[in-house]
Chains A and B, each alone.
Chain A
Amino acid sequence: MNYDVAVVGAGVIGSLIARELTRYNLKIALVEKCNDMAMGTSKANSAIVHAGFDAKPGTLKAKLNVEGTAIMPEICRTLGVPFKPVGSLVVAFSDEELKTLNELLERGNINGVPGLEIYDKEKLKEAEPFISDEAKAALWAPSAGIVCPYELTIAAAENAVVNGADFIRNFEVKTIDFNNGNFRLSNGENEINTKFVVNAAGVYCDEIAALIGDNSIHTTPRKGEYMLCDKSIGHLANHTIFQCPSKMGKGILVTPTVDGNLLLGPSALDIEDKNDVATTSDTLADILNIAKKSVPCLTAREVITSFAGLRAHCDRDDFIIEPSDKNSQFINVAGIESPGLSSAPAIALYVKDIIIKAMPADEKSNFNPVREEPVRFRHMSNEERKALIEKNPAYGRIICRCETITEGEIIDAINAPAGARDVDGVKRRTRAGMGRCQGGFCGSKVVELLAQELGVEINEITKFGGNSKILYERTK
């Protein structure tokens, strides 16, 4: 197939870039090595929209964070993705840290972060009743928020597909050739021809760049482990609660999620293996202990799952968003670690500008920016539910009881543009299996529905593509 732009990597960055480019009369491919989008950094991170006071003034991080955060609510609305403007607090526990708060405040003001304010102990306690008595003060940032990062990714990719992009799954780019002004991407079996390549491959962006001989990118996968707690203790944090940042990042946070759970993490450990998303018991114990410094009443009892994600830490200490020195039609979007999610909408616009400048194109008249929010049965009133089931009985059968997810929602997720192909894909789109029983009850039903909708036997269904099959052959 021939494209104008092939975006390599269907994370939140790649998907939003692809969507932004579909505004134009361009043929866009969104190329992903996994069976679904949001399979790397985008599915396992803090889900925070940062206010933007952390980054050093003058950096791309500082600029794109503040810009991205400013447009995040709107883009989430347009794409039907949950976003909550909960605001964030950086808590100081010592006089030393009080100084840090003032530094952050100052930096935030330079970066153009709106509404920053130092809360004294009393005001902090009012905002967060369960905060530690040891907390002395906090930096309040009202523009911070929380978002569901994989839903944002999925919605952006879906919307890109609706607007004409091709979503190409299970295509691991192994070689890239450049001939007559065109790239040829190959996975060893099939080829994709394109004028421009956007390298949005997350922790693999150094390897993708190296395929055209660009060895300028040095990234280290930095692993962050998280613990997710049951909704029953969701009330223990009203805002995202940070501790003071260190060299390794913003430290362990305690934050509500858009779905009402409580998230603790991340740890930060530089590792070698880009596939290593294993959790470790020592780290998880550490996370809980450090999180308890902020909110002492946390216990391991309410933890429903833990997970790890990798972020692409770059030695340049800033986002790298520019054409490669080796080929100006190859745009690196590399080193997108925190605040990458917050910056994502702004990064998409920034990359779009680079490409349209290099390859002028007309805007499409029929671009539809809106992705209708999927049916969310759990948020409906009984009247709405009644009407919905009358229209389509599939909404009358609950598949995931913990999260109240219906058969209709799962079928929708499978049949959506660039829909779910595996159990984890259904889970990310619908939340089926994300509740306190973690798929114990609905897992086998989701497998059945996937098999039914995709027209295959149930033992062909995988957890997340590849060899992650759930079942072997028939017993007899």
Chain B
Amino acid sequence: MQKNIICVACPMGCGVTVEIADNGDILSITGNTCKRGDAYARTECTNPVRSLATTVKVNGGIHNVVPCKSAGAIPKDKIMDCMAVINAAEAKAPVSLGDILVENILGTGINIVATNHCPAK
């Protein structure tokens, strides 16, 4: 199987082609112009991850929501599932930047943490 990826390791945006065997082994990586491109393409084909930033509902705060992010990268295919968990979560004001709002989301080992303060109303 062949997979085409745009490398985002730097602003160059190289088009990288990855040949993947049926058993999932990477056979070749071409089109990248540096080592970072190789590494990026490898991760994208085996275990693509993303950081997630969204909001969590706050009760009693000056705003309805407080912004949050995943404290580390989470598997790309779990993003929408994580959103469902985060959308169901609620925090109580005051919330401080860095507060853990969802612990170990979906067993990924990653916490969802507040990225701003939300004082009580």
Q: How far is the CB of A452 from chain B (nearest CB, A)?
A: 14
B69 within 8 A of A: no
What's the Cα separation between A475 and B63 when bound, in Å?
12
A379 within 8 A of B: no
By a CB distance below 8 angstroms, the chain B residues around A476 are 55-57, 65, 87
B64 within 8 A of A: yes
What's the Cα separation between A476 and B63 when bound, in Å?
12
Residue of A nearest to B56 (CB): A476
A474 within 8 A of B: yes
What's the Cα separation between A475 and B87 when bound, in Å?
8
State the majority secondary structure of interface residues on A.
Answer: loop
Q: How far is the CB of A380 from chain B (nearest CB, A)?
A: 31
By a CB distance below 8 angstroms, the chain B residues around A475 are 55, 65, 87
By a CB distance below 8 angstroms, the chain A residues around B64 are 474
By a CB distance below 8 angstroms, the chain A residues around B55 are 475-476
Q: How far is the CB of B62 from chain A (nearest CB, A)?
A: 12
What's the Cα separation between A474 and B56 when bound, in Å?
12
State the majority secondary structure of interface residues on B.
Answer: strand
What's the Cα separation between A193 and B108 when bound, in Å?
69
Give residues 196-241 of A contacting B (CB, 8 Å).
Answer: none
Interface string of B44-87 (1 = CB under 8 A from A): 00000000000111000000110000000000000000000001
What's the Cα separation between A474 and B58 when bound, in Å?
12
What's the Cα separation between A474 and B64 when bound, in Å?
9
Q: How far is the CB of B55 from chain A (nearest CB, A)?
A: 7
What's the Cα separation between A121 and B56 when bound, in Å?
69
Give residues 87-117 of B contacting A (CB, 8 Å).
Answer: 87
What's the Cα separation between A474 and B57 when bound, in Å?
10
What's the Cα separation between A258 and B65 when bound, in Å?
42
By a CB distance below 8 angstroms, the chain B residues around A474 are 64
Give residues 24-44 of A contacting B (CB, 8 Å).
Answer: none
By a CB distance below 8 angstroms, the chain A residues around B57 are 476
By a CB distance below 8 angstroms, the chain A residues around B65 are 475-476
What's the Cα separation between A475 and B68 when bound, in Å?
14
What's the Cα separation between A474 and B55 when bound, in Å?
12
What's the Cα separation between A476 and B87 when bound, in Å?
6
By a CB distance below 8 angstroms, the chain A residues around B56 are 476
What's the Cα separation between A475 and B64 when bound, in Å?
9
Interface string of A438-476 (1 = CB under 8 A from B): 000000000000000000000000000000000000111
Residue of A nearest to B89 (CB): A476
Q: How far is the CB of B69 from chain A (nearest CB, A)?
A: 16
Q: How far is the CB of A94 from chain B (nearest CB, A)?
A: 58
What's the Cα separation between A474 and B65 when bound, in Å?
10
Give residues 25-61 of B contacting A (CB, 8 Å).
Answer: 55-57
Q: How far is the CB of B92 from chain A (nearest CB, A)?
A: 14
What's the Cα separation between A226 and B87 when bound, in Å?
45
Identify 9 residue pairs between A and B in the complex whose beta-carbon atoms are under 8 Å apart, listed by A's number: A474-B64, A475-B55, A475-B65, A475-B87, A476-B55, A476-B56, A476-B57, A476-B65, A476-B87
Binding site for A on B (CB under 8 A): 55-57, 64-65, 87
For the complex of A and B, list the 7 residue pairs with the smallest distance between their C-beta atoms, beginning with the closest: A476-B57, A476-B87, A474-B64, A476-B65, A475-B65, A475-B55, A476-B55
- Since A476-B56, A476-B57 are in contact, a sample of 7 more A-B pairs with Cβ atoms closer than 8 Å, ordered by chain A residue number, is A474-B64, A475-B55, A475-B65, A475-B87, A476-B55, A476-B65, A476-B87
